[in-house]
Structure 1
Amino acid sequence: MSDDLPELIETDGNPVPGNHVVGWFDGVGGKRLRYAIFKSEVSVAAGTVVLLHGRNECIEKYYETIRHFTDRGLWVATFDWRGQGRSQRLLKNPFRGHLRRFRDMEADLSIFLETIVLPETRLPFCLVAHSMGALVALSMAPKLANRIERMALIAPFVELSNQPIPTWGTRLITRVLRMAGLGWLSSGKDRFPQPFAGNALTTNIDRYARNQALYLAHPELRLGPPTVCWVNEMLGAMDRINRFEHLDQIHVPTLLIGAGNDPIVAPQAIENLGNRFRAGRAIMIDGARHEILQESDRYRLAALAAIDAFIPPDQTSQPVQKVLTQPD
């Protein structure tokens, strides 16, 4: 894996944005992680968006979003988290979505900011993160005040929704299994590919098909279900970021964007979180499912409009109060 060229993959209907560089960097413990920087054609960049993916995502899935930001005059810096995309996997079975320690992801992000973003991109730095990536950002936020100007966190993974057993039960079961040395076990069956009907991610069949086609053509980019250890580490991080003593240390202005019809993350939990720390505020995109940036335009463009109004920091910009969805 680590000897492969750090290339970006192109599929039909999903071309690689131009004017980019791609490479490897070493995360904590020497894990090889793939990164890419996409430069705007605008001669004077307005800043850089640090784009953080969710679970089972990769750089290729965000080409459309990357073009949106580079068309605005922003650069985009992004990387595949450890254990997914084309970054180094953590188990012999590469399809198991594993994580040993949540703090490893935080350390990887810190290394990325210090060794790639700071020397190779343009100020100011703002952060846009989805789901799991947003959870990492929230966990690290008290340490980001001197590096990140603003954060826009989309469907942040702050509380599980529609679970067959209570969260406390999942936490107990996964803890016991980890103590028994079974943290590598998968938490479910790999059911890829799944039909569009009934999916939890998006109401847009074209974007859903595009992402499924990417993983069908390049299965090395995708993951199956998460492991017991991954679930347990995420639950621990959720507990930590929801504590008042943690939220009180966040000083980076933060916009939380929730999906009103999200079957994965509880929308009310996002609204509640936005009301609990001074630097944060929350808006909801009514009707959207979990992957708002992969959604139908009536939802996706509403979220992007909110982000555009929020970053990069601008003395003349007005606070985001409410986003109205428009028909496709």
Structure 2
Amino acid sequence: MTLPPPAPLHADLAEGPDGGRAFWLTARDGVRIRAAHWPGGTKGTVLMFPGRTEYVEKYGRAAADMAARGYQTLAIDWRGQGLAQRALPDPMTGHVGHFDEYQRDIAALMDMAEALDLPRPFHLLAHSMGGCIGLRALMNGLPVASAVFSAPMWGILLSASARPAAMALSSLSRFVGMANRYAPSTGPASYVADAPFAGNVLTTDPEMFAWMKRQVTEHSELSLGGPSLGWLHAALRECARLAMLPSPGIPTICALGTAEKVVDPAPIHLRMAAWPKGRLDLYPGAEHEVIMEGPEVRKLFFDRAAELFAASTPQKA
């Protein structure tokens, strides 16, 4: 199978393993996305599903952590973010019409994994919005041996009073030509680029926060602003639909910081309490990005992930 064409990779900012490279992929609906591969061993390959606003360079250090444990990493820029093709004239608006669009990106990524002949088994590591996309992919039969979720977006954190209004407004937006507008209280600004470390909702580690900020300030083309009303409607619908479905029987760990302020923790607790072969790991004091916390938390997270991956790997006869 022919390799896809090469794409830019800001290796100096990613700080991933040596030999990392990126490729342009084309989803079946013609949307161009980007994916990155980092080498790292022969135990298997980690499929890295980032969150909303994110891009492959943000997971270079995670790829280095997985490489140290014997795993290669394949990460993706979802459509509408990173260097992937953006849907709207305002490139800072995060937009899709339906979450099924992201499954087309996964199909292109799996074709790339086949073209690169990456070591198996595959394992899923999915953060935030990537956790929502990843859960649907597991239900669709994504060929992985195990899965690790980090603060998955299985519910959007809204107050009880705001939820009906958000659903009504986002639904109405489709019929009155407002689907491309920013969701309330959001706009074109990048949270990571603009927010100070003090009071941020992503990490308690100043060095990791500074590293993320440096990426989007030195390469502003990677950054993204708020979601569209169309994205909000699609996300609320997808979370509601997933909540009605049973969890797959795949070995799974879900990591959640006890200071979570971005996604709704309640659906995470409910699903993991009933997940066959599933476990919820709580990280005291950690915020939304457990993967981007301090060294001790990150080591524990990746050690646990590697233990699950090894335990889920079929033994050769």
TM exceeds 0.5? yes
Q: What is the alpha-carbon distance in structure 2 between the residues aligned to residue 226 and residue 85 of structure 1?
A: 14
Residues 1:219 and 1:254: Cα distance change in structure 2 (over 3 Å): same
Which residue is 2:99 aligned to?
Answer: 102
Q: TM-score, normalised by structure 2?
A: 0.90
Cα-Cα RMSD? 2.1
Letter in 2 for 1:216: T
Give the alignment of 1:1-328 within 5 angstroms. Answer: 6-11=7-12, 14-40=14-40, 42=41, 45-113=42-110, 115-120=111-116, 121-144=118-141, 147-161=143-157, 163=159, 165-187=161-183, 188-192=186-190, 193-243=194-244, 246-247=245-246, 250-314=248-312
SS of the residue aligned with 1:30? coil
Q: Offset at 1:99?
A: 1.1
Letter in 1 for 2:267: A
Question: Is the 2:127–2:150 Cα contact (8 Å) retained in structure 1?
Answer: yes
Letter in 1 for 2:223: R
Where structure 1 has 5 or more consecutive residues not aligned to the other structure, the ranges are: 318-328
Residues 1:79 and 1:259: Cα distance change in structure 2 (over 3 Å): same
Q: What is the alpha-carbon distance in structure 2 between the residues aligned to residue 201 and residue 28 of structure 1?
A: 34
Q: Offset at 1:133?
A: 0.5
Question: Is the 2:121–2:313 Cα contact (8 Å) retained in structure 1?
Answer: no
Residues 1:216 and 1:117: Cα distance change in structure 2 (over 3 Å): same
Q: What is the alpha-carbon distance in structure 1 between the residues aligned to residue 272 and residue 160 of structure 2?
A: 26
Residues 1:25 and 1:206: Cα distance change in structure 2 (over 3 Å): same
Deviations 1:26-46 (Å, cap 9, x if unpaired)?
Answer: 013111111111112x4xx00
Length, aligned pairs only: 305
Q: What is the alpha-carbon distance in structure 1 between the residues aligned to residue 256 and residue 93 of structure 2?
A: 27
Deviations 1:289-314 (Å, cap 9, x if unpaired)?
Answer: 00111112233222222212211445
Q: What is the alpha-carbon distance in structure 2 between the residues aligned to residue 316 and residue 185 of structure 1?
A: 48
SS of the residue aligned with 1:298? helix
SS of the residue aligned with 2:45? strand
Q: Offset at 1:165?
A: 4.1
Q: Offset at 1:62?
A: 0.9
Q: Offset at 1:5?
A: 5.9
SS of the residue aligned with 1:49? strand
Question: Is the 2:27–2:104 Cα contact (8 Å) retained in structure 1?
Answer: yes
Question: Is the 1:285–1:303 Cα contact (8 Å) retained in structure 2?
Answer: no
Question: Is the 2:16–2:61 Cα contact (8 Å) retained in structure 1?
Answer: no
Q: What is the alpha-carbon distance in structure 1 between the residues aligned to residue 15 and residue 39 of structure 2?
A: 16
Deviations 1:107-130 (Å, cap 9, x if unpaired)?
Answer: 2112311x1113421110001010
Task: Name the % identity.
Answer: 25
Which stretch has the larger CA shift, 84-93 or 115-124? 115-124
Residues 1:300 and 1:182: Cα distance change in structure 2 (over 3 Å): same
Question: Is the 1:155–1:291 Cα contact (8 Å) retained in structure 2?
Answer: yes
Which stretch has the larger CA shift, 269-278 or 70-79? 269-278
Where structure 2 has 5 or more consecutive residues not aligned to the other structure, the ranges are: none
Q: What is the alpha-carbon distance in structure 2 between the residues aligned to residue 10 and residue 30 of structure 1?
A: 27
Which stretch has the larger CA shift, 298-307 or 62-71? 298-307
Deviations 1:31-64 (Å, cap 9, x if unpaired)?
Answer: 1111111112x4xx00100011001111111111
Deviations 1:260-291 (Å, cap 9, x if unpaired)?
Answer: 11001233331211013324332211211001
SS of the residue aligned with 1:238? helix
Q: What is the alpha-carbon distance in structure 1 between the residues aligned to residue 15 and residue 253 of structure 2?
A: 30
SS of the residue aligned with 2:174? helix
